[in-house]
Amino acid sequence: MNGPVIVSEIPGPRSRELMNLRKEYVPRGLFEFTPIVIDEAKGPFIKDVDGNVYIDFATGIAVTNVGHVPGVVYEAITGQASRLLHTCIHVASYESYLKLAEKLVSLSPISGAAKAFFLNSGAEAVENAVKVARYFRKAIGIITFEYAFHGRTLLTMGLTSKFKPYKYGFFAFVPGVVRLPYPYPYRCPFGSKDEEECGLIALEFIERAFKTHIHPDETAAIIFEPIAGEGGYIVPPKSFVKGLRELADKYGVLLIVDEIQTGMGRTGKLFALEHFGIEADLVTLSKGMASGLPISSVVGRRDVLDSVHVGGIGGTFGGNPVSAAAALATIDLIMDSLPHAEEVGRILRKRLDELYDEYEVIGDVRGLGPMQAIELVKDRRSKAPWKSLTENIIKSALSRGLILISAGIYGNVIRLIPPINIDYDVLDRALGIFEESIRDALRNL
Ligand SMILES: Cc1ncc(COP(=O)(O)O)c(C=O)c1O
């Protein structure tokens, strides 16, 4: 497969026909970023049912980090599927689960001895990390931040920040959650122009919250994302991340690092935390773990995870044999792809910085490695978010064969998250389309 190749209007007739089924039978509450229906995908390309081929810069929201259907992952899946589909880890153990736990423990940025267990979705991993943290600490409090996204279940929705659409109308959340300001360097909530200073002030809020909101003895954990993903691809200052570790140590509170979007090579390192030089007590993983098969994990300090009584954690499908086999093959491929990923990140960032110099509507370029984003504003002085322009750029890109998605509290951030092993010429083609799409959207204001 190669692309982009556009052979019909978008959406084409077959996509439109199938989308009628979606309209009729699927609740409207699910996001619908594009109106196309996909037939097959390989590497960085996606082909729709009308034969249009797109370059995929959304990677299924940071899932197909090493491309669609990598050969080695396909072989691992089919090999495992022919032998064993399910026992449930509670009933009888199997090799792929155990080998995956061993691998993640050996690779994860956890201080000291660690263990790992598996679940089905990102939100379920976060639920479990919080459950275990509360159990271990015998404390209810969880400190979370503005701009955070940790999922849509009843507990994780309460940890997530953005009200509409994620929380609006769903009412009471799980008690004990304290939300504090997040150091968003481009829009520092304290008005600071200095990124590191912004981070330090955010830490002071936590110290103050321990006096005014919740006592550290009653706080189980602080949870944060090394890059606030859905919140707008916001990279926190180093001072903040290092300070979170120091505060957690000072007060004996656990540090849960949600790497569901940032992990698995997404930032050019296996874990984004490696950019900050600290270790976590618990890490949550999912998305990019298994190239699209559903699986998630909590990797954490052995004393913390082993504190829970038998039967207190787990689930029927968590870490099923096929997903675990896919994860083992995916992680090996990610590890091999990391040097390439760093170069992809450098090229991407350089091109985005050039676009920043060219287009006033780009207020900010940010990210780590091949997890980058631009924030669109009406003008650089007011920084007024420009959501409609963002939508028009994404639409224009789709019509030219490039799939992009937005992010952010104001819906004015475009994330650029290609497969980390994308060929340089495909990357170059996609970035050319991206620039054309910006120009097109500005021309058609
Ligand atoms: C950082 C983070 N945590 C948790 C989740 C929830 O994962 P899931 O959608 O698999 O429940 C997401 C999903 O976008 C995420 O980005």
Per-residue pLDDT of 12-60, as tens digits, reads 999 999 999 999 999 999 999 999 999 999 999 999 999 999 999 999 9
Give the separation between CA 430 and CA 426, rounded to whole angstroms: 6
Give the tens place of pLDDT for each residue, 397-406. 999 999 999 9
The strand ranges marked E within 161-233 are 177-180, 219-224
Q: Give exposure, 147-171, as e/b (b: 16+ Cβ within 10 Å).
A: bbbbbebebbbbbbbbeeebeeeee
**pLDDT bracket for residue 145 (50, 70, 90):** very high
Under a CB-based contact definition with an 8 Å cutoff, are residues 173 and 157 in contact?
yes
Give the separation between CA 98 and CA 148, rounded to whole angstroms: 32
CB 225 less than 6 A from any atom of ligand 1: yes
Q: Is the pLDDT assigned to residue 140 strictly greater than 90? A: yes
First to last CA, the chain: 34
Q: Is the pLDDT assigned to residue 225 strictly greater than 90? A: yes
Give the tens place of pLDDT for each residue, 57-73. 999 999 999 999 999 99
**Preceding amide of 4 cis, omega within 30:** yes
* CA-closest candidate to residue 49, choices 67, 71, 22: 22
Q: Is the pLDDT assigned to residue 274 strictly greater than 90? A: yes
Neighbours of 363 (CB within 10 A): 24
Which residue type is seen at 395? K
**pLDDT bracket for residue 103 (50, 70, 90):** very high
The pair of three-digit structure tokens given for residue 379, joined into one six-digit string: 């003008």
Beta 38-42 vs 141-145: how paired, if at all? unpaired
Give the tens place of pLDDT for each residue, 351-393. 999 999 999 999 999 999 999 999 999 999 999 999 999 999 9
Burial class (CB in 10 A: 0-12, 13-18, 19+), 91: exposed
- Percent residues over pLDDT 70 in the chain: 100
> Residues 264-281: what's their mean pLDDT?
98
Cα angle, residue 153 at apex, residues 282 and 61 outer, rounded to 5°? 75
CB 65 less than 6 A from any atom of ligand 1: no
Helix (H) / strand (E) element for 143: namely strand 141-145
> Residues 170-183: what's their mean pLDDT?
94
CATH architecture of the domain covering 71-333: 3-Layer(aba) Sandwich (3.40)
Q: Is the pLDDT assigned to residue 283 strictly greater than 90? A: yes
Helix (H) / strand (E) element for 431: namely helix 424-443
Give the separation between CA 327 and CA 315, rounded to whole angstroms: 18
Under a CB-based contact definition with an 8 Å cutoff, are residues 149 and 231 in contact?
yes
Please enumerate in sequence order all residues whose Cβ is within 8 A of that of 243, keeping only pairs 6 or more positions apart, or say none. 199, 200, 203
Q: Taking the domains of the chain in order of start, what are their residue ranges?
A: 71-333
**Lowest mean pLDDT, pick from 150-154, 162-166, 358-362:** 162-166
Q: Is the pLDDT assigned to residue 115 strictly greater than 90? A: yes
CB 260 less than 6 A from any atom of ligand 1: yes
CA of 159 to the centre of ligand 1 (A): 11
Burial class (CB in 10 A: 0-12, 13-18, 19+), 350: exposed
The pair of three-digit structure tokens given for residue 3, joined into one six-digit string: 């692309």
CA of 359 to the centre of ligand 1 (A): 32
CB 122 less than 6 A from any atom of ligand 1: yes
Burial class (CB in 10 A: 0-12, 13-18, 19+), 182: buried
3-state secondary structure of 423: coil
Q: Is the pLDDT assigned to residue 172 strictly greater than 90? A: no
CA of 225 to the centre of ligand 1 (A): 10
- Percent residues over pLDDT 90 in the chain: 98
pTM of the model: 0.98
Residue nearest to atom 8 of ligand 1 (CA): 122
What does residue 76 show for φ and ψ, rounded to 5 degrees? -65, -40
Please enumerate in sequence order all residues whose Cβ is within 8 A of that of 283, keeping only pairs 6 or more positions apart, or say none. 108, 109, 110, 256, 257, 258, 259, 263, 271, 273, 298, 299, 300
CB 150 less than 6 A from any atom of ligand 1: yes
Task: State CA 212 to chain mean position distance.
Answer: 32
Give the tens place of pLDDT for each residue, 396-445. 999 999 999 999 999 999 999 999 999 999 999 999 999 999 999 999 98
DSSP string, 81-100: HHH-S---TTT---HHHHHH
3-state secondary structure of 380: coil
> Residues 78-98: what's their mean pLDDT?
98
CA of 160 to the centre of ligand 1 (A): 10
* CA-closest candidate to residue 390, choices 366, 368, 373, 371: 373
CA of 260 to the centre of ligand 1 (A): 6
> Residues 271-296: what's their mean pLDDT?
98
Please give the order of strands across the beta sheet that includes 177-180.
114-119, 296-301, 282-285, 254-258, 219-224, 141-145, 177-180
Neighbours of 185 (CB within 10 A): 20
CB 230 less than 6 A from any atom of ligand 1: yes
Q: Is the pLDDT assigned to residue 111 strictly greater than 90? A: no
Per-residue confidence (pLDDT) for residue 33, from 0 to 100: 95
- Average pLDDT value for the chain: 97
CB 409 less than 6 A from any atom of ligand 1: no
Residue nearest to atom 7 of ligand 1 (CA): 122
The pair of three-digit structure tokens given for residue 201, joined into one six-digit string: 């002030």
The strand ranges marked E within 353-431 are 362-368, 371-376, 402-403, 405-407, 413-416
